[in-house]
């Protein structure tokens, strides 16, 4: 016996159900489910995904039995509808729609009105008493079928249509008479014949098989293949085909069509929210030719009279009953499509409705109170990325502006301001009370003060983990990077975008959530953190096992982080403190030192400043753990680069400008990322780390004297060899012991290391023997594992993603196969060698939900991310915990 490929639905009974998504596709499974629920759905049948798989495997043959099964089910459908396929008086018309497991652009979508031909169109005209409608449907059918199934160019049909309008002397298609349409239909048929050297098929069965085969073949269409490659969807999934009797919302004033959400998709309020049109087809609602009206009365006073509720109370009552049924059944907010044909309600589709982050939270919390779902389910219902929307201003969604360019969405939120090109301009403008957007080719640590002053940052270069991106996220400041169409001219103080010039002082708006940049000031909507949010996050915290810390360098950042729910600081970068205006001269003095003595003298000046910084952070964190990373960047980053700055530095430290230039040039490196930085500095200039360790311990003692149960964790960066950590640990320990003996106070502290070099991950067992904790630096680890510079990779990574070579930016979401393998190895080896090892991650991946889920699964103790990503990480951590608990 042949395999079953066709699954019927209709009259309250379906052979499939919602669980058969793999066999029937998303659309087919939901149609079957609705049918089984007794909800009125136009009857029809679904051809399984397996049929399409067989079709492809055999190179275009229908599998055994498919033809017979389809014929049989068409017969069933005819009897159910009381009409006949090709019947000249009462023709059965069907739609054919594709439906893969997940919705996929590039696939053939829909052919409506299959079954129309020169004879049946007359029957349709008679039965609807609307010849215009019948012939318009017919010409649309030939156009749609000719284009989608037969491959005749869309524009050729449009050309004939335009010529026909001209001939008829009308401007709109709907002004064409029945006769015009009849002639147009002849034109269309002639076009098909001349283009394809075959007549347009009159036989409804040939029409049907043509459409079904077209769906099968569209699975291997170019766009679909690329889409699958980019999104990592297997080629052998195949697609289902849904064949369904047509129903018409345009059969008169007692007919209608509409779409609705069972709750408000914008804010989640529990009200039925939809739009409909009387005497119309589904396409009309979407196309926006006529303005649709509200389904419910409650929405607004003006609408109440023309609402579906008022106009067709009976059908509305049915619809309400159906939506409540569906929501209860699916236990989620639904997005439904319906048609009312001559007073009778038909449901065409139901699916989980898309919603904003705010709506998602409100719906999840409400549904828990309503007993529809439990807290675990609620946690799974909100996409962590959506939380971002709640935490930052966004451009008013009602505004429909055209962006002038697009970059990478490096740090979310939206803001407007006058364009400035330098830190000085930024500070001056802000002092005058202006709001500014700092525009740079790329930023460096010297720009940090300007970034702080600006509302938003925009760069022409750099990727998701470039300096601008990382710092902006840390500040929670809107930022777009790598907007490569921008030509920044610092001299002329202009910004060229595709021939358009923007000058310093002009206002622009930057949307860091989408990467878009706009001219002028666009209205923004402020974020709201309401009780629903708080309730929801408290549930997340209840379930999650991963702790969430923040990356924060200053007391202000630290306070901010605590407010967002951070349970500690996973990364305090000591170098960011070095760039402050009052410190950088001393830092430079330290770097320019000719010998150890001079260096120590300069470091002695820096020490009290660092101590105060640390004390401030300890105070802000009130006993939560604080991980402080010792100096990491190459010294070159701190040095002056322009002539003025060099002159100032030379004056300050009493050397000649040539001497300063010589040091600057001697510290230049070809590949600073692989250069003299991290613990390599600590090895060659032991005094730097010694002074930093001293400042940490002194600050910790001061904090403990204030009654704070201080928990410093001293972190050594960029270790690749165990012996590096052995030597530095010994040194730090010695300094700490000296300070504690001198002060007569004992504090607890940990010494650990970043795992950010592949070798450290590979030899984590050795390193764990001398580390109290590991913190993965996945930015560097990703750079080194792929050999991708985060600053330079923008150029080719975009290309890689568009070609499907990579399915995502590995600097945004951790590469589980490669970098993740190293993380897993290091965790296993590290814990085996040192069971008490505490393990976290402080790279940018710490705030990416998919990555957080991975870190949770691998068994890390905590993730650390920018303060503004803390809620995102808390939710992602809760989701992985809920997932793992089953």
700 in helix, strand or coil? helix
Residues 6+ apart with CB under 8 A from 94: 44, 77, 85, 114, 115, 208, 243, 244, 245, 246
Q: Which of 241, 420, 755, 784 binds a copy of itself (CB under 8 A)?
A: 784
Nearest to 40 by CA among 342, 353, 339: 339
Residue 784 beta carbon to a copy of itself: minimum distance, rounded to whole angstroms: 5
Q: Please tell me the distance from the alpha carbon of residue 649 to that of residue 654, in angstroms, as a whole number.
A: 8
In sequence order, what are the beta bridge partners of 510? Answer: 415, 517
Beta pairing class for 862-865 and 547-551: parallel
Return d(Cα 230, Cα 801) in angstroms, integer.
7
| By the rule CB under 8 A, 225 interacts with a copy of itself | no
**In the complex with a copy of itself, which residue's Cβ is closer, 217 or 792?**
792
Among 357, 246, 260, smallest CA distance to 309 is for 260
- Which residue, 172 or 666, is less far from a copy of itself as judged by CB? 666
Phi, psi of 224 (to 5 degrees): -65, -40
Which residues, in sequence order, are CB contacts of 868 under 8 Å at separation 6+?
A: 388, 391, 392, 411, 412, 473, 476, 564
For residues 257 and 766, which CB has a smaller minimum distance to a copy of itself in the complex? 766
Residue 712 CB, nearest approach to a copy of itself (Å): 26
Q: Among residue numbers 727 through 746, which ones bind a copy of itself (CB under 8 A)? A: 727
Cα–Cα distance measured from residue 134 to residue 248, given in angstroms and rounded to the nearest whole number: 11
Q: Closer CB to a copy of itself, residue 547 or residue 722?
A: 722
Total residues at the site for a copy of itself (CB under 8 A)? 49
The residue among 414 and 664 lying less far from a copy of itself, judged by its C-beta, is 664
How far CA 763 is from CA of 514, 607, 675, 719, 785, in Å, comes to: 40, 34, 21, 11, 15
Of 297 and 721, the one with the shorter C-beta distance to a copy of itself is: 721
The DSSP H or E segment spanning 182 is: helix 178-196
Q: Tell me if 341 sits within 8 A of 248, measured CB to CB.
A: yes
Contacts of 296 (CB under 8 A, 6+ apart): 271, 272, 273, 274, 307, 308, 309
Q: How far is the CB of 64 from a copy of itself (least distance, A)?
A: 34
Q: Which is nearer to a copy of itself, 442 or 743 (CB)?
A: 442
State yes or no: residue 808 binds a copy of itself (CB under 8 A).
Answer: no
Q: Which span sits near a copy of itself by CB under 8 A: 102-110, 213-221, 664-672, 826-834?
A: 664-672
Question: What percent of the residues of the chain are helix, what percent strand, and what percent coil, each to the nearest 5?
Answer: 50, 15, 35
| Residue 635 binding a copy of itself, by CB under 8 A | no
> Which of 98, 649, 778, 785 is the binder for a copy of itself (CB under 8 A)?
785
Rounded Cα distance, 770 and 733, in Å: 12
Closer of 252 and 686 to a copy of itself (Cβ): 686
CB of 718 to a copy of itself, least distance (A): 6
- The only residue of 116, 819, 853, 878 in contact with a copy of itself, by rule CB under 8 A: 819
Task: List all residues 6 or more positions away from 878 whose beta carbon is below 8 Å from its beta carbon.
Answer: 379, 539, 540, 541, 542, 543, 544
Beta strands in 424-545 (DSSP E): 436-440, 456-459, 478-481, 486-489, 494-497, 500-503, 507-511, 516-519, 524-525
488 or 508: CB nearest a copy of itself: 488
Site mask, a copy of itself, residues 669-708, x = CB under 8 A?
A: xxxxxxxx---x--xx------------------------
CB of 845 to a copy of itself, least distance (A): 16
Pick from 397, 707, 787, 835: which binds a copy of itself (CB under 8 A)?
787
Q: Judged by CB under 8 A, which of 804, 813, 831, 833 binds a copy of itself?
A: 804
Choosing from 418, 842, 845, 865, which is the catalytic residue? 842
Q: Check residue 758 for interaction with a copy of itself (CB under 8 A).
A: yes
Which residue among 492, 746, 821, 832 contacts a copy of itself (CB under 8 A)? 821
Find the part of the chain contacting a copy of itself (CB under 8 A) among 259-267, 568-576, 644-652, 793-801. Answer: 793-801
Say whether 467 is catalytic.
yes
* Alpha-carbon span 267 to 397, nearest angstrom: 13
State the catalytic residue, choosing from 62, 73, 143, 467: 467
Q: List the one residue out of 171, 121, 167 whose CA is nearest residue 141.
A: 121
796 binds a copy of itself (CB under 8 A): yes
Minimum Å gap between C-beta 720 and a copy of itself is 5
SS3 assignment, position 261: strand
Q: Is 842 marked active-site?
A: yes
Q: Which stretch binds a copy of itself (CB under 8 A): 128-136, 358-366, 379-387, 721-729?
A: 721-729
Nearest to a copy of itself of 94, 718 (CB atom): 718
CA distances from 605 to 588, 634, 688 (A): 12, 20, 12
Q: Which of 366, 694, 780, 844 binds a copy of itself (CB under 8 A)?
A: 780
- Cβ neighbours around 121 below 10 Å, total: 24
Rule CB under 8 A: is residue 718 a binding residue for a copy of itself? yes
Q: In the complex, what is the shortest distance from the CB of residue 766 to a copy of itself, in angstroms, rounded to a whole number?
A: 8
Among 818, 828, 850, 883, binds a copy of itself (CB under 8 A): 818
By the rule CB under 8 A, 470 interacts with a copy of itself: no
392, 371 contact by CB (below 8 A): no
Piece in contact with a copy of itself (CB under 8 A), picked from 79-87, 526-534, 722-730, 853-861: 722-730
* CB closer to a copy of itself out of 248 and 776: 776
Q: Is position 125 an interface residue for a copy of itself (rule: CB under 8 A)?
A: no
User: Taking the mean position of all CA atoms in its chain, how far away is CA 885?
Assistant: 26
Binding flag, residue 227, a copy of itself (CB under 8 A): no
CA-based torsion, 9, 14, 20, 26: positive or negative: positive
Binding of a copy of itself by 822 (CB under 8 A)? yes
> Among 792, 573, 810, 829, which residue's Cα sits nearest to residue 674?
792
User: How far apart are the C-alpha atoms of 756 and 843, rounded to whole Å?
Assistant: 9
Tell whether residue 721 is a contact of a copy of itself (CB under 8 A).
Answer: yes
CA 436 to CA 425: how far, in whole Å?
9
> Where in the sequence numbering do the catalytic residues fall?
467, 842
Site residues for a copy of itself per CB under 8 A: 669-676, 680, 683-684, 718, 720-721, 723-724, 727, 756-759, 762-763, 766, 780, 783-789, 791-793, 795-796, 799-800, 803-806, 815, 817-819, 821-822
């Amino acid at each position: 016996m042949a395999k079953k490929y066709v699954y019927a639905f209709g009259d309250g009974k379906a052979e499939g159900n919602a669980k058969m998504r793999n066999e029937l596709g998303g659309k087919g499974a939901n149609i079957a489910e609705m049918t089984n629920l007794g909800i009125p759905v136009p009857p029809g049948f679904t051809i399984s995904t397996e049929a399409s798989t067989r079709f492809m495997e055999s190179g275009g043959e229908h599998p055994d039995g498919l033809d017979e099964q389809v014929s049989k089910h068409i017969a069933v459908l005819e009897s159910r509808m009381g009409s006949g396929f090709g019947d000249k008086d009462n023709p059965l018309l069907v739609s054919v729609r594709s439906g893969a497991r997940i919705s996929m652009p590039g696939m053939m979508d829909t052919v409506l009105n299959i079954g129309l031909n020169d004879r049946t169109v007359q029957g349709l005209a008679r039965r609807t008493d609307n010849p215009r409608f019948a012939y318009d449907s017919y010409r649309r059918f030939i156009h749609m079928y000719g284009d989608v199934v037969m491959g005749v160019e869309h524009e050729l049909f449009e050309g004939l249509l335009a010529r026909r309008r001209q001939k008829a002397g009308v401007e709109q298609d709907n002004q064409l008479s029945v006769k015009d349409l009849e002639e147009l239909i002849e034109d269309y048929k002639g076009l098909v014949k001349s283009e394809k050297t075959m007549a347009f098929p009159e036989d409804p069965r040939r029409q049907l098989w043509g459409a079904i085969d077209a769906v099968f073949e569209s699975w291997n269409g170019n766009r679909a293949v690329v889409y699958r490659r980019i999104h990592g969807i297997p080629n052998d999934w195949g697609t289902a085909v849904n064949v369904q009797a047509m129903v018409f919302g345009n059969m008169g004033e007692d007919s209608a069509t509409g779409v609705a959400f069972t709750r408000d998709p914008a804010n989640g309020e529990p009200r039925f929210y939809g739009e409909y049109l009387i005497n119309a087809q589904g396409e009309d609602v979407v196309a926006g030719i006529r303005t649709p009206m509200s389904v419910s009365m409650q929405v607004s006073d003006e609408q109440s009279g023309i609402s579906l509720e008022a106009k067709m109370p009976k059908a509305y009552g049915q619809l309400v009953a159906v939506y409540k049924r569906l929501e209860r059944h699916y236990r989620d907010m639904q997005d439904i499509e319906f048609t009312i044909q001559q007073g009778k309600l038909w449901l065409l589709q139901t699916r989980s409705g898309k919603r904003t982050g705010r709506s998602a939270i409100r719906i999840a919390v409400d549904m828990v109170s309503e007993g529809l779902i439990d807290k675990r389910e609620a946690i799974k219902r909100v996409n962590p990325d959506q939380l971002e929307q709640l935490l930052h201003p966004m451009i008013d969604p009602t505004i429909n502006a055209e962006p002038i360019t697009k970059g990478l969405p490096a740090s979310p939120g939206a803001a407007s301001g006058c364009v400035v090109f330098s830190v000085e301009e930024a500070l001056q403008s802000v002092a005058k009370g202006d709001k500014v957007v700092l525009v740079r080719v790329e930023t460096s640590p010297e720009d940090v003060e300007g970034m702080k002053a600006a509302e938003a940052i925009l760069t022409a270069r750099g990727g998701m983990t470039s300096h601008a991106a990382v710092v902006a996220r840390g500040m929670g400041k809107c930022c777009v990077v790598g907007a490569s169409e921008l030509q920044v001219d610092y001299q002329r103080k202009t910004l060229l975008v595709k021939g358009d010039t923007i000058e310093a002082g002009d206002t622009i708006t930057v949307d860091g959530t989408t990467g878009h940049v706009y001219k002028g000031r666009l209205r923004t909507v402020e974020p709201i953190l309401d009780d629903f949010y708080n309730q929801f996050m408290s549930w997340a915290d209840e379930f999650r096992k991963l702790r969430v810390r923040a990356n924060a360098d200053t007391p202000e950042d630290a306070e901010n982080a605590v407010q967002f729910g951070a349970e500690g600081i996973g990364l305090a970068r000591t170098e960011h403190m070095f760039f402050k205006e009052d410190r950088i001269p001393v830092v430079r003095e330290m770097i320019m030192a000719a010998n150890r003595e001079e260096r120590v003298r300069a470091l002695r000046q820096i020490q009290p400043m660092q101590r105060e910084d640390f004390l401030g952070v300890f105070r802000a964190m009130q006993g939560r753990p604080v991980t402080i990373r010792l100096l990491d960047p190459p010294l070159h980053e701190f040095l002056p680069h322009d002539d003025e700055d060099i002159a100032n530095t030379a004056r300050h430290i009493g050397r000649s400008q040539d001497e300063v230039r010589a040091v600057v040039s001697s510290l230049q490196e070809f590949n600073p990322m692989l250069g003299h930085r991290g613990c390599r500095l600590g090895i060659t200039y032991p005094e730097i780390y010694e002074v930093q360790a001293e400042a940490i311990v002194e600050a910790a003692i001061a904090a403990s004297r204030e009654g704070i149960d201080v928990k410093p964790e001293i972190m050594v960066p960029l270790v690749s060899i165990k012996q590096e950590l052995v030597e530095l640990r010994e040194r730090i320990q010695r300094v700490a012991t000296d300070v504690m003996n001198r002060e007569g106070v004992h504090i607890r502290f940990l010494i650990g290391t970043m795992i950010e070099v592949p070798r450290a991950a590979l030899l984590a067992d050795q390193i764990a023997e001398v580390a109290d904790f590991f913190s993965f630096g996945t930015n560097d680890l990703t750079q080194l594992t792929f050999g991708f510079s985060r600053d330079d990779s923008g150029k080719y990574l975009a290309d890689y993603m568009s070609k499907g070579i990579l399915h995502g930016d590995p600097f945004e979401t951790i590469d589980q196969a490669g970098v993740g393998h190293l993380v897993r190895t290091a965790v296993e080896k590290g814990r085996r060698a040192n069971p008490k090892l505490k393990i976290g991650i402080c790279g940018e991946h710490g705030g990416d939900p998919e990555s957080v889920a991975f870190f949770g699964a691998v068994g890390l103790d905590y993730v650390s991310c920018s303060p503004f990503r803390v809620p995102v990480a808390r939710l992602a951590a809760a989701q992985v915990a809920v997932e793992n608990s089953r």
